[in-house]
């Protein structure tokens, strides 16, 4: 199964995350198919950057988001300008 999940980057005590599309069997920080965004929890402002069209593409192909990524995507959709 293909999942959209967080992959940790950064150094010790300074986390930085990438939103990646990966096979469920691969390790957390291992091989992934595509990077669709970033998340920096340490910034005071919204440290979230998500490519919503690519996320929708992968949802259309059957990918499932982890619980945390689902919340982050919902927050990105709420912050996106209404067209």
Domains of the chain: 2-79 (3.30.1320.10)
Asked if the model's pLDDT at residue 83 lies above 80, the reply is: no
* Residues sharing a CB contact under 8 Å with residue 64, sequence separation 6 or more, in sequence order: 1, 2, 3, 4
Asked if the model's pLDDT at residue 81 lies above 90, the reply is: no
Lowest mean pLDDT among 44-48, 58-62, 63-67, 76-80: 44-48
Q: What is the mean pLDDT of residues 58-69?
A: 97
CA 22 to chain centre: 11
CA distances to 43, 62, 76 from 28, rounded to whole Å, are 23, 20, 22
Confidence of residue 80 (pLDDT cuts 50, 70, 90): confident
d(CA 6, CA 4): 7
Q: Of 77, 71, 62, 79, whose CA–CA distance to 2 is shortest?
A: 62
């Amino acid at each position: 199964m293909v999942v959209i999940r967080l992959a940790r980057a950064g150094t010790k005590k300074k986390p930085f995350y990438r939103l990646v599309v990966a096979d469920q069997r691969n390790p957390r920080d291992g091989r992934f198919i595509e990077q669709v965004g970033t998340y920096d929890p340490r910034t005071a402002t919204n440290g979230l950057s998500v490519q919503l069209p690519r996320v929708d593409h992968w949802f259309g192909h059957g990918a499932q988001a982890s619980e945390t990524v689902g919340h982050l995507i919902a927050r990105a959709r709420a912050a996106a300008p209404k067209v």
